[in-house]
């Protein structure tokens, strides 16, 4: 019996095996068909963009980088229209300003919700301002943009009802609407009280509010509650951040359809601009910022690659070399070698460096002529920019003038044409920049060569962006660096750079809260005066008068040179033609993230 059954069983197993192999082959060839390669993720509408490095935080109150995830996730009471340059309603549908300019009442839109479906009300606005920004225990840079007058007082905030909030000011404060623009102006966005309130009431082992360590990049994205067009779906370090459409976002189109149109945005983390361009050319990216190095290549491929290069005009950013002017000591040790600190705090030294840098060569060789020379902390597209006047210093390339300035200041040259100070010390310092930025690395090599022509030895050391940021804002142990700031049409956006106690006053930085104090930090008169002028300009509502005040800050900045400004490039981006409704602009903070992302459609 068994001998009869076994042969039958073998034949049955053979049939099953043959059928299984046939089915596997069918599945294999079906899956390999390009027409059928669409995974569930690929079937939804999406576009893919890129950034150079990993996000540093998911808590917008502590953001100090650009670009950042909040370009996709965070909104404030107002927003900046990048095409008109006007502040427009966002979470607030309207506002009313009193005749004496000391009172503003915002009315929120009806039915606002957070990404978890919970109501967004005036309580969230009160929480964001009163419990976070005005809280002395919370070290957020948002404070700098809201300090009013010489006293640095904050506005008072009062809830009228669930949809109305009143802000009252001790004096007129003209930039306030701009400071409420959320990610569109790199300023205050509203945060969820129902999720974060508990972290302000509890403390960590050091007695600090838990909020300070809440929503770090290790947080489960599902717990990050937002009010912008997208929420964070996932984060894979050194790979990508994926954003998913916020189903409760408040915007709708003219037909009443929920915005945004695109379901998903993938933010690829690519730590090399060269690799970015390779991926864009191969079709792996839908948008990429265009640099001077790759402009010609991409322009030739524009038609074949089915993309368009958009020109937003001169970029709203500044690019510079700066020296550490901080004379402070920490734990008994000076931040900067006292010998070098004397050089850095000698005005003739800064000016000689400015004359020694061949900015036109940088514009030609590094930027391929795609930009302009920069001689102002206020960008040329800003309505508050003042064309250069006779009393504003401009530092044209002049190595002989640079040497003359140094010799008159007591420096001297040895037989090898090396620059020495009055005590015979060789003039040599380290210059940093972020290694991920190829343009700055190339620029640094030229600046090193330029300064060698006047006898200065520069030890150029490109380092990672995270390490550089830590040195500039935390440890403060740096000598010089090539850096830049993203800006906008409102000069008060730079208050945290120019006020002596500002969080980005990098050239003479006050220590961060919780860090060891500095002994001996000095604020010279010109530095304090620029800070006072920023306060004065914020009190003025007449645009022409504000422009005149900022013109004086421009004059002082060029007179005393805390930043040696270099080149202002054009704002360029390459965008696949399959992305529709693109309105590219250099204005605002969004640029490569496309400021009107909620209107973007993807052609099938």
For 48-64, the pLDDT digits (tens) are: 999 988 999 999 999 98
Average pLDDT over residues 261-289: 93
Judge whether residue 527 has pLDDT over 80: yes
Q: Do residues 285 and 268 make contact, with C-beta atoms less than 8 angstroms apart? A: yes
Average pLDDT over residues 223-252: 97
Residues 234-245: b if buried by 16+ CB within 10 A, e if exposed: ebeeeebbbbbb
* Same domain (yes/no): 432, 476: yes
Contact 190, 130 (CB under 8 A): no
- Report the interhelical angle of 273-281 vs 438-452 (nearest 10°): 140
pLDDT level of residue 189 (50, 70, 90 thresholds): very high
CA dihedral (221, 591, 96, 154) positive or negative: positive
pLDDT of residue 427: 98
Mean pLDDT of 308-317: 88
Q: Is the pLDDT of residue 13 over 90?
A: no
Clarify whether residues 207 and 321 are in a common domain.
no
Residue 530 confidence (pLDDT): 96
Q: Which of 204, 201, 228, 318 is nearest to 563 (CA)?
A: 318
Please tell me whether residues 389 and 460 are part of one structural domain. Answer: yes
- The average pLDDT across 393-407 equals 96
Does pLDDT of 399 surpass 80?
yes
Specify whether 321 is located in the same domain as 461. yes
Q: Rounded distance, CA 338 to CA 336, Å?
A: 6
Q: For the CA atoms of 537, 541, 545, 547, what is the dihedral angle to 10 degrees?
A: 60
| 509 inside domain | yes
Task: Report the pLDDT value the prediction gives residue 390, as an integer from 0 to 100.
Answer: 80
The pLDDT assigned to 173 comes to 93
What is the percent of the chain with per-residue pLDDT over 90, rounded to a whole number? 71
Contact 379, 588 (CB under 8 A): no
179 and 210 together in one domain: no
Are residues 555 and 433 both part of a single domain? yes
Higher pLDDT, 371 or 432: 432
Q: Where are the beta strands (DSSP E) in 501-595?
A: 563-565, 567-576, 579-580
Give me the pLDDT at residue 64, please. 83
Q: Using alpha carbons only, how large is the chain's radius of gyration in Å? A: 28
Return d(Cα 26, Cα 39) in angstroms, integer.
18
Q: What is the mean pLDDT of the chain?
A: 89
What pLDDT does residue 38 have?
A: 38
Q: Residue range 482-486: average pLDDT?
A: 91
For residue 133, tell me if it sits in a domain.
yes
Instruction: Write down the pLDDT at residue 396.
Output: 95
In a domain, 515, yes or no: yes
pLDDT the model gives residue 40: 45
Q: Which residue has the higher pLDDT, 5 or 417?
A: 417
DSSP state letter for 478: -
Q: What is the reported pLDDT for 475?
A: 92
Q: How far apart are CA 535 and CA 239, in angstroms?
A: 43
Considering 141, 158, 192, which residue would you say is the last residue of a domain? 192
- Is 323 found in the same domain as 291? no
pLDDT above 70: residue 369? yes
Task: State mean pLDDT over 14-35.
Answer: 34
Counting runs of H as helices and runs of E as strands, what totals does the chain give? 17, 25
Averaged pLDDT, 203-221: 92
Domain span at 126: 80-192
CA distance 503 to 498: 9
Is 64 inside a domain boundary? no
Q: What is the pLDDT of residue 494?
A: 87
pLDDT, one tens digit per residue, over 460-471 is 999 998 899 999
C-alpha to C-alpha distance for 521 and 499, rounded to whole angstroms: 15
CB 122 within 8 A of CB 108: yes
What pLDDT does 591 receive? Answer: 60
- Residue 23 falls within a domain, yes or no? no
Last residue of a domain, one of 192, 217, 237: 192
Same domain, 252 and 172: no
Task: Looking at the structure, tell me whether residues 232 and 306 fall in a common domain.
Answer: yes
Write b or e for each residue in 308-334: b if 16 or more Cβ atoms lie within 10 A of its Cβ, otherwise e.
ebbebebbbbbbbbbbbbbbbbbeeeb
Q: How confident is the model at residue 592 (pLDDT cuts 50, 70, 90)?
A: low
Residues 462 and 554 reside in one and the same domain = yes
* Residue 30, in any domain of the structure: no
Among 216, 268, 238, 249, residue whose Cα is nearest residue 592: 268
User: Does 16 score more than 50 pLDDT?
Assistant: no
User: Whose CA is closest to 589, among 54, 59, 60?
Assistant: 60
Cα distance between residue 359 and residue 371, in whole Å: 11
- Mean pLDDT computed over 299-315: 92
Strands 601-602 and 563-565 turn out to be unpaired
CATH number for the domain harbouring residue 178: 3.90.76.10
As a whole number of angstroms, the distance between CA 370 and CA 546 comes to 31
Q: What is the pLDDT of residue 116?
A: 97
Better-scored residue on pLDDT, 298 or 29: 298
Per DSSP, the three-state class of 288 is strand
CB 395 within 8 A of CB 376: no
Both ends of the chain: CA-CA distance in Å?
64
Angle at 428 between CA 466 and CA 407, to 5 degrees: 135
Indicate yes or no: pTM above 0.85. Answer: no
Strand intervals (E) in 66-138:
78-80, 87-89, 92-97, 103-108
Q: Are residues 307 and 342 in the same domain?
A: no
The SS3 assignment for 342 reads helix
* Rounded Cα gap, residues 468 and 328, in angstroms: 20
- Residue 394 maps to which CATH number? 3.10.105.10
Q: What is the pLDDT of residue 102?
A: 95
- The answer to whether residues 161 and 238 belong to one domain is no
Distance from the Cα of residue 309 to its chain's centroid = 22
| CATH number of the domain residue 238 falls in | 3.40.190.10
Q: Is residue 37 part of a domain?
A: no
Task: State the residue for tokens 């937003």.
Answer: 312
Residue among 292, 308, 301 nearest 364 (CA): 292
Contact 547/384 with Cβ under 8 angstroms? yes
Length, in residues, of the chain: 604
Are residues 87 and 181 in contact, defined by beta-carbon separation less than 8 angstroms? Answer: yes
Helix, strand, or coil (residue 275): helix
Q: For residue 93, what are the CA distances in angstroms to 89, 328, 597?
A: 5, 47, 20
482 compared with 370, residue with greater pLDDT? 482
Q: What is the mean pLDDT of residues 568-593?
A: 82
Domain-embedded: residue 90: yes
Count of domains forming the chain:
3
- In this prediction, residues 326-337 reach a mean pLDDT of 94
């Amino acid at each position: 019996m068994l001998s009869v059954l076994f042969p039958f069983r073998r034949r049955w197993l053979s049939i099953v095996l043959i059928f299984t192999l046939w089915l596997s082959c069918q599945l294999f060839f079906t899956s390999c068909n390009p027409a059928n390669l669409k995974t569930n993720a690929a079937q939804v509408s999406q576009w893919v963009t890129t950034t150079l490095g990993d996000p540093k935080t998911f808590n917008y109150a502590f953001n100090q980088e650009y670009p950042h995830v909040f370009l996709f996730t965070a909104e404030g009471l107002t927003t900046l229209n990048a095409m008109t340059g006007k502040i427009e309603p966002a979470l607030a549908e309207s506002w009313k300003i009193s005749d004496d300019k000391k009172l503003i009442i915002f009315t929120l839109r009806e039915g606002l919700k957070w990404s978890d479906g919970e109501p967004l009300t005036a309580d969230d606005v009160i929480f964001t301002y009163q419990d976070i920004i005005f809280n002395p225990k919370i070290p957020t840079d948002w404070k700098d943009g809201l300090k009013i007058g010489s006293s640095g007082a904050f506005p008072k905030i009062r809830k009228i009802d669930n949809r109305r909030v009143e802000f009252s000011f001790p004096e007129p404060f003209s930039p306030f609407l701009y400071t409420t623009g959320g990610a569109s102006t790199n300023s205050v966005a509203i945060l969820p009280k129902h999720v974060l309130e508990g972290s302000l009431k509890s403390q960590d082992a050091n007695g600090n509010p838990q909020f300070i360590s809440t929503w770090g990049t290790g947080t489960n994205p599902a717990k990050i509650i937002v009010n912008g067009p997208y929420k964070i779906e996932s984060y894979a370090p050194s790979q990508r951040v994926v954003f998913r459409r916020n189903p409760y976002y408040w915007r709708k189109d003219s037909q009443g359809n929920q915005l945004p149109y695109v379901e998903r945005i993938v933010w690829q983390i690519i730590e090399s601009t060269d690799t970015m361009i390779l991926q864009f050319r191969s079709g792996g990216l839908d948008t990429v910022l265009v640099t001077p190095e790759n402009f010609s290549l991409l322009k030739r491929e524009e038609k074949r690659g089915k993309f368009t290069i958009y020109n937003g005009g001169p970029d709203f950013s500044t690019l510079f070399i700066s020296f550490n002017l901080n004379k402070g000591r920490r734990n008994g040790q000076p931040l900067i070698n006292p010998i070098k600190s004397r050089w850095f705090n000698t005005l003739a030294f800064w000016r000689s460096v400015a004359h020694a840098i061949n900015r036109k060569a940088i514009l030609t060789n590094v930027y391929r002529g795609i930009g302009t020379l920069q001689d102002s902390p206020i960008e040329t597209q800003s309505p508050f920019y003042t064309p250069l006047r006779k009393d504003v210093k401009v530092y044209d390339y002049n190595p002989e003038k640079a040497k003359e300035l140094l010799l008159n200041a007591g420096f001297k040259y040895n037989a090898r044409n090396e620059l020495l100070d009055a005590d015979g010390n060789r003039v040599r310092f380290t210059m940093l920049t972020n290694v991920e930025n190829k343009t700055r690395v190339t620029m640094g090599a030229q600046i090193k060569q330029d300064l060698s022509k006047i006898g200065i030895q520069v030890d150029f050391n490109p380092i990672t962006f995270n390490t550089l940021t830590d040195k500039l804002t935390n440890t403060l142990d740096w000598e010089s660096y090539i850096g830049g700031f993203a800006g906008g049409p409102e000069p008060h956006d730079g208050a945290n750079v120019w006020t002596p106690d500002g969080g980005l006053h990098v050239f003479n930085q006050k220590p961060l809260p919780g860090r060891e104090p500095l002994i001996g930090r000095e604020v010279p008169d010109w530095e304090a005066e620029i800070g006072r002028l920023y306060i004065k300009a914020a009190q003025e509502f007449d645009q022409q008068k504000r422009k005149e005040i900022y013109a004086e800050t421009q004059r002082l900045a060029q007179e005393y040179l805390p930043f040696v400004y270099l080149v202002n490039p054009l704002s360029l981006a390459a965008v696949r033609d399959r992305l529709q409704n693109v309105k590219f602009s250099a204005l605002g903070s969004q640029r490569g993230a496309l400021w009107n992302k909620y209107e973007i459609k993807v052609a099938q």
